Amino acid sequence: MSQSLAPECNELKERYDTCFLKWYSEKYLRGIGTTDNNECSTLFKEYSTCLQALKERGIDKLLDEAREDYKENDATLMGRKKCKSPRHPGISVGI
Amino acid sequence: MVLTHTTKDSYSHPFPTVTLAFFLRYCSPQLNPFASHVLSTDTISSHVDPATGRLHTTRIHLKKSRLPPAVMKLLPTSLTGGTSDKASYILETSVVDMREGWMATESRNLNYVGVLSVVERQLYTVPAARPSPAADSTDVETRVVFRSRLGDRIRDKLGQAQAQAEAAANDGSGGFFARLGARGIQRSIESLASTKTQDQLGKSREGMRIILERLRQTGIMGVLELRKMARERSLDAAHP
């Protein structure tokens, strides 16, 4: 079973995941509710608060380092060759 | 030093189902036997852009031994932090656009980036010949970029001492890296990782196919039910 990195958040993660998967398959994929996914937002907030424990494990620091690192890498790589697909997501992390 | 690996593939399932399988792929080893190396998965952000209707999701996965053992052996423990911690954090970002019929994903490792950075980008699309989300197949292009900066770091570290290091290398008394040569190490790490990743890409495709088949048979509700049952079983096992 896919766990949360913070085992104490498993229960909240489970509830959020189930909500997300239902919303995604029953609404988003059918073109309903493509303007927001608020129906899982309360569950996400609870789960997210719990995940603050991630910070204690230094993940936020890793993220910062990775961002710096890749900024440098991407600058080198993209400078040489234009990225074919402009659609690719950059890193946007909200913890 | 950069090594790039690109593959094109297609799934005989409709685009919406494939995107759902992407989110489900690490959901449970009962669902996907190829996901047993995934220790944890967390969503850290998820939102729909009201202007475009695109769903942006960021997740962090913890996976066992991202770096192949052969790479680990090449490195001194001062760089790997010992061999006990063989898990690596993967940052996954994805954007789904149901209206235009594409999903773009990117996965990159968060630790060991100084040794090896692996960036995997995938673009899932509705085949151009049948431009309707109801088409029964989905194309995917996977591009993996490997980059080892290890040699750069070592050169940086050597700095002004480089001349002495080179001299030492020439007379054979230099350290491990000086003897092997930074470029040689970068090449070895990148090619070892690339070989391993090609193997893993095959497994990840297999995993996706198993989930897709399950979705075809039981639908999402069946998958959610299976997931719940697997979870209850694991709870029972933990607290008999």
Question: Contact B98/A34, CB-based, under 8 Å?
Answer: yes
Q: How many beta-carbon contacts under 8 Å exist across A and B?
A: 147
| A66: nearest CB among B45, B46, B91 | B91
Q: How far apart are CA A94 and CA A54, in angstroms?
A: 12
Closest residue in B to A66 (Cα) is B110
Number of helices followed by number of strands (H, E) in chain B: 7, 7
Q: How far apart are CA B64 and CA B72, in angstroms?
A: 13
Q: How far apart are CA A89 and CA B45, in angstroms?
A: 13
Please give the residue that has the higher pLDDT: either A67 or B190.
B190
Q: Which of A30, A34, A57, A68 to mutate to test the interface with B (most CBs of B within 10 A)?
A: A34
Domain range summary for chain A, segments of one domain joined by +: 7-94
Q: Which CATH number fits domain B2-230: 3.40.640.10, 3.90.1150.10, 3.40.50.150, 3.30.530.20?
A: 3.30.530.20
Domain range summary for chain B, segments of one domain joined by +: 2-230
Q: What is the pLDDT of residues A18-74, one digit of tens each?
A: 999 999 998 999 887 666 667 899 999 999 998 886 666 666 776 776 666 656 555
Q: What is the pLDDT of residues B37-90, one digit of tens each?
A: 888 999 999 999 988 999 999 999 988 865 566 666 666 555 555 444 567 889
Distance from CA of B186 to the nearest CA of A (A): 15
